[in-house]
Amino acid sequence: MNFHIMTLFPDMVMNTLDTSILARAMNNGLIACEAVNIRDYTLRKNNRVDDYTYGGGAGMLMQAQPVYDCWKSIQDRLPKKSRVVFLTPQGRVFNQKIAEDLSKEDDLILLCGHYEGIDERVLDEIVTDNISIGDYVLTGGELPAIILVDAISRFVPGVLGNESSASTDSFQDGLLEYPQYSRPEVWHDKRVPEILMSGDHAKVDAWRLEQSIERTRERRPDLYKSFLAK
């Protein structure tokens, strides 16, 4: 899968992505990530990409022309029209289901805004999906883009190594993940639950489901309500 990230801060994006599991996935050819600098496509002096908003108001707005030309430089290299995700607090809130859906794309273009936003005309022309990572405002779309790449990549075969990992993640079945334990058996006078050392896989699975349901009920009653409604 290929991620094409349109940004004013390509180093910020790539320095974060080029670590840990994602770096290994890129080295193994399972995913590819590029950060394309929107400033490279401006026609103005001093690499300016922003200007005042019509109608007044605080802050500056990213102009349509450099954003469009940056997008076109990416799209022209791709075999087919690709989905363009604009990271914005006005979008639908990102979740595991959306991540799984987006992971089915061969190419995905992520657009990072900055300043007070982006000229609406170019958004209308190129954006297919508006996505938010939560009901709060950040200084730019770079961190949300990195989050999307990480979450989506987990569904790409081979990225996690253990193919069952993604299927047991929190939210994958509408529940939070069950508690997990490692060695030693006793730590700070707390013991690993006996059931996990029983060797009875059926009982372990039943215990984990029970714990997931209870944890969801306590910590995320909204998810618990949706789970009961299924």
Active-site positions read: 89, 116, 154, 169
The single-letter code of the amino acid at 83 is R
User: 106 with 1: CB under 8 angstroms?
Assistant: yes
Q: Judging by DSSP bridges, how do beta strands 190-191 and 186-187 pair with one another? A: antiparallel
**Burial readout 16-27 (b: 16 or more C-beta within 10 A, e: otherwise):** bbeeeebeebbe
User: 198 with 208: CB under 8 angstroms?
Assistant: no
List CB contacts of 204: < 8 A, sequence separation 6 or more.
195, 196, 198
| Residue closest to 101 by CA, chosen among 79, 131, 80 | 131
Question: Quick one: angle between helices 142-153 and 20-27, nearest 10?
Answer: 60
Euclidean distance between CA atoms 85 and 110, whole angstroms: 5
